[in-house]
Amino acid sequence: MSQRSSGKYVPLIAVAVLATVAAGFWAPCLFLGRVPATVQHQSWMVPWRAVQAPALPARQWDPLLWDSVAQFYPWRVLLRRGFCRGELPLWSPYQYCGYPLVGNGQSAIFYPINWLLLILPAAKFLGVSLALHFFVAGLLTFYFCRLLRLTVIPALFAALAFSYGGFMVTWALLPTLVASAVWLPGVLAGIELTQRGRRCWGMVLLAASLGLTLLAGHMQIAAYVWMTAAVYALGRLLYNLGCKRPVAWWPVGAGAGLGLMLGMVQILPTVELGMNSPRGSQVPTQQGWQFQQHRLLRPFELVTFVSPDALGTPASRLSSDQYWGAKFGIIYSEHCGFAGVVTLFLAFMAVVYRRDRISWGFAGAVLVVLSVIMGRPLARVLYFWVPKIGAMGSFTRFLFLYIFLVAVLAALGLDYLMARTSAGKRLGSGSAYLLGSAFIVVLLGELLPWGWRFIPMQSAADLYRQTELTREIQQRCDPTEGRVLAITPRRAWSLLHTPDAVLPPNSAAVYGYCSPQGYDSLSIDDYYEFAEKLEGEPPAPAENGNMMLLENYASPALEDAAVKWVVSMEPLYDEDLKLLWHGEGAYLYRLQGASRFRVRSLQGKTIEPSAVKGGLNYVELEVPPVNGGTLLVADTWYPGWHYFVDAHPAPAIRYGVFRRLELTGGAQCVLMVYYPTSVLCGLFVTLVAVGGLAAIAGGWWMTVRR
């Protein structure tokens, strides 16, 4: 085989390496029935600790990684449940007395990779999805570096450094951040292609990557990707102008427009929920800026860029007191910028010895990003002058961009060293390949063992294990009749130790019962006010404003919310409560509350529907014939619901934060269906974008074929 023909296979070998490393890294999830989630945290809560806690290894409490169990797994269960029923799970009846699941973004219903839930169980899907995203991140980074004229080995180094660096590993258990971040190199590669004469392919790649980062669900990371794309495109266009090269303005603009249209099916419902959420009214304040500063990277934390566990790690099995970084308010994942010592060394070599525009440009970008992460003036500008950026989360999440830039800079340094090695009088290209391969081996030796140690991978059978309590709830607590209130005291929730909790919020989605509580980054503001009045104080724990915990089981407002059962870790003494079962550290009571659906006739009688059936997005009731009356529905009021009485459209009226319908004489069938205008309009725009991209890609392919 000639040297030229053998060289064609070198990039394919690099791609095979990326696939092999991804499969090997996630092998426990792909082949051994493990799930990437903090099952250990759940095992110390009621009721699971009665059957699981001694069997699982201890792990320090990490409130951020707890979201893998408390949020992302339940959302994937709902997607799987909806797909198996043949419906898109736009609405969740299991939390907050009903909630627009499509609006929270991180449910990522329209993200194509999540459609694997059609064929995979939720626990299996979590590992498969992460393996696929790690591979895609590496593949796109490799492709971008090749566009920068880097040779295969340095491009492979950058791909591995970004894919298995601190951001991707420490945020793996919160998969929407990873899913939104992996498309960054695809965005930059698309821009680069448009300026190198491959306008159609570049425009398609740019639009697809920008759209997918929106559909992936984490709007903060998506916003950072779009901001980075705008800065890179402007710099690239100005560079071409300065060099008197052709400037392709329209492909970049068209790609951005198509990308925005592609993500519109997710953007519109998220904006709608945001406007109806407590976060929608937040504005930048000096107090908010001070809170942001407490969460930003501090100079002494830069030591973790060299040694990620210098301030401790939640992966340790020691007591939480040993994770002394938590004493400074440090959340490990939020502040982890580790990409390998060898990566920093090669990045330094690129800046010192290459001395060209591209290395200095990336080095300057690294300094700018670090200044934002550390709260320098640019961070203040972003907080006060870029709408909603400050309300999304800490600026430390720009670390994904820092790691990507450092990875590319390291590839530039390795490319320089390999070129100097090949140019030596006694050394040839073989020595250069050996040198580059040695650096890759060192990089993998730094990143992979650390990543394996950090990411918990436990048996999928232990995640939301069935217990006697959950079986009792499933048998006794019919979701069509009412809701279950599981009482966890707000004071029990902590950032430093595992909370003493019972069936924490969103457990209802997994086990299939309805709850008045929930845990989500966005909630409906009217319902939050209702919960606040019910409790007499804010329903969220001080340590977690996204969680809603209700304790006041004696409140008359619970009747409006159709709470008919109460679960408590302590015995309750109230004449309205009837003990049904106790065990596993919990007590299950029946509360004399109202039903979820009830008809109030003109004569003042209360009648329950004779039959109730439905799915995630609809409810159908059979009402006994009444000569007029009111149907009271203890489900949250929200735009997008449509009502039909005996197949005729009927208006609904707000009943506090709930709903009511006026029934005419003889009414027997009531149908409520959720199909919001925001989703329908967004879906239309997205499909137009898909058609446009398909036409452009098809035309480009036909041209290439000719």
From CA 336, how far away is CA 71, in angstroms rounded?
A: 22
Is the pLDDT reported for residue 125 higher than 80?
yes
Q: Residue 322 pLDDT more than 60?
A: no
Residue 682: predicted pLDDT: 95
Query: pLDDT tens digit string along 394-414?
Result: 888 999 999 999 999 999 999
Give per-residue pLDDT as tens, 57-86. Answer: 677 888 888 999 999 999 999 999 999 988
For residue 311, the 8-state DSSP code is T
pLDDT band at 319 (very low <50, low <70, confident <90, very high): very low
Q: Which of 136, 128, 243, 116 is nearest to 189 (CA)?
A: 136
Tell me the whole-structure pTM to 2 decimals.
0.93
Residue type (1 letter), 682: G
Task: Identify the CA nearest to 159 among candidates 177, 179, 137.
Answer: 137
Taking the CB of residue 414, how many other CB atoms lie within 10 A of it? 31
**426 pLDDT higher than 60:** no
Torsion of CA 139, 144, 145, 151, to 10 degrees: 70
Angle between helices 399-423 and 152-163 (to 10 degrees): 160
DSSP state of 629: E
| 616-673 pLDDT tens trace | 999 999 888 777 788 889 999 999 999 998 888 888 889 889 999 888 777 788 899 9
The mean per-residue pLDDT over the stretch 518-525 comes to: 89
Q: Is residue 90 scored above 90 in pLDDT? A: yes
Distance CA 47, CA 34 (A): 22
Domain ranges (residues) in the chain: 1-32+105-281+676-706, 282-423, 468-591, 597-675
Residue-level pLDDT at 428: 54
**Interhelix angle for 429-454 vs 152-163, to 10°?**
10
| Least confident stretch, 39-53, 165-179, 282-296, 440-454 | 282-296
pLDDT of the residue at 286: 80
Rounded Cα distance between 294 and 310, Å, is: 20
pLDDT exceeding 70 applies to what percent of the chain? 93
With contact defined as beta carbons under 8 Å apart, do 616 and 98 qualify?
Answer: no
What's the CA gap between 647 and 643, in Å, rounded?
9
Instruction: Please answer whether residues 366 and 429 qualify as being in contact, where contact means their C-beta atoms are separated by less than 8 angstroms.
Output: no
Dump the DSSP string for 369-416. Answer: HHHHHTT-HHHHHHHHHSTTHHHH--GGGGHHHHHHHHHHHHHHHHHH
What mean pLDDT is predicted for residues 595-621? 83
Q: Dump pLDDT digits (tens) for 174-230.
A: 999 999 999 999 999 999 999 887 888 899 999 999 999 999 989 999 999 999 999
- Residue 321 above 50 pLDDT? no
Phi, then psi, of 621 in degrees rounded to 5: -120, 140
Residue 425 has pLDDT above 70, yes or no: no
Burial of 668: CB neighbours in 10 Å, binned 0-12, 13-18, 19+: middle
DSSP structure string for 502-563: BS-TTHHHHHT---S-EE-S---HHHHHHHHHHHTS-SS-TT-TTEE----TT-THHHHTTE
Q: What percent of the chain has pLDDT over 90?
A: 54
Radius of gyration from C-alpha coordinates of the chain: 27
Q: Indicate whether 390 pLDDT > 80.
A: no
Q: What is the mean pLDDT of residues 86-93?
A: 92
Q: What is the mean pLDDT of the chain?
A: 88
Dihedral, 10, 11, 16, 17 alpha carbons, nearest 10: 80
**Tell me, what's the pLDDT at 24?**
95
Q: Are the CB atoms for 634 and 596 separated by under 8 Å?
A: yes
Q: pLDDT digits over 493-516, tens only?
A: 887 788 889 999 899 999 999 999
